[in-house]
Amino acid sequence: MPYWRIPPIGDTIHSGEQTVKQTCWITLFVALMTVGGFVSQATAQGLPNLVAVVDVAQLIKEHPEFLTKQEALQKLVQVEEAKFRARQKQITDKDKALQNSGFKPGTAEHQKQVDEIANEYADFEKDVKTMQRKFALENSKIMYETYQHIKKVIGNFAKQRRIAQVTDYRIFEVNPAEPQLVAEDMDQNLVWFDEQLNITELVINALYADLGKQRPAKTAANTAVPLTTTQPQPQATPAPVSSQIPPAPIR
């Protein structure tokens, strides 16, 4: 009797038990064959199972366009700072002139001059904060665009080489006499990795290639890195630009 048909009511109990056992074995066999087929198909497809390590801070620092953009922004900051320092000096000179003017404190003329200087300085402080906010946003935009480009290039690099995960690890010399560096090193999520997993130099080369630029020969590294192991997670580092102008003392 075929295993998929229900036995007739008149069959013996023994016949029924044999049918149930036969059905269970066939079901189990089909399930195992299905799982086995999936595993062998996944193996044949060669799913990515490799892991690599990069130093994101170094990638940002050596990005083909990052330093150029930062330097251009810094020049704009310096131009604006020069203007604000000149304006600050004018306010300070007015304050000194008032002190030497001979106007008696408390008189209407003296109070008028004090109010004018105070208002000028309040406007000055407001404009300084506006400038700082503007350049902080510009710097943030540079950082964002740089990091997004780095992630895109790492993604393409990893897919081409069947790498399933790329972990950030800041590589730097740790001086035991500097508690901050010791704490930073201990705070990293990755404890150890084989140096062969470090693809930072290869990614820098890929960043230049993606922008159609030639990496300077003095720093170019073209070492092939064999990848074979599996390791853990990330971390990141920025580089800010800000403008600090000391306040003008107003009496």
Distances (CA, A) of 178 to 57, 85, 134: 20, 36, 34
pLDDT of res. 102: 80
Distances (CA, A) of 74 to 81, 125, 145, 220, 241: 10, 20, 17, 27, 7
Q: Which residues pair with 165 in a beta bridge?
A: 51
Any idea how long the chain is? 251
Mean pLDDT of 207-219: 88
At 164, phi and psi to the nearest 5?
Answer: -90, -25
Comparing 79-88, 138-147, 182-191, 233-242, which segment has the lowest mean pLDDT? 233-242
Distance separating alpha carbons of residues 164 and 227, to the nearest angstrom: 11
Comparing 4-18, 106-120, 147-161, which segment has the lowest mean pLDDT? 4-18
Residue 117 has pLDDT above 50, yes or no: yes
Strand segments, DSSP code E, in the chain are 50-54, 163-168
Comparing 38-52, 59-73, 206-220, which segment has the lowest mean pLDDT? 38-52
DSSP state of 238: -
Mean pLDDT of 139-152: 98
pLDDT of res. 18: 54
Q: pLDDT-based confidence at 160, cuts 50/70/90?
A: very high
Supply 60's token pair.
Answer: 């940002």
Question: Following CA atoms 172, 176, 181, 182 in sequence, which dihedral angle do they give, to the nearest 10 degrees?
Answer: 100
Q: pLDDT-based confidence at 49, cuts 50/70/90?
A: confident
Amino acid (one-letter) located at 61: K
Which residue in this structure is represented by tokens 């897919």?
159
pLDDT of res. 187: 85
Q: pLDDT-based confidence at 222, cuts 50/70/90?
A: very low
Distance separating alpha carbons of residues 165 and 92, to the nearest angstrom: 58
Closest residue by Cα to residue 66 from 216, 243, 242, 239: 239
DSSP state of 212: T
Distance separating alpha carbons of residues 43 and 40, to the nearest angstrom: 5
Q: pLDDT-based confidence at 238, cuts 50/70/90?
A: very low
- Domain boundaries, given as residue ranges, for the chain: 1-47, 50-210
Residue 84 has pLDDT above 90, yes or no: yes
Question: Following CA atoms 241, 243, 244, 250 in sequence, which dihedral angle do they give, to the nearest 10 degrees?
Answer: -160
Mean pLDDT of 234-242: 40
pTM above 0.85, yes or no: no
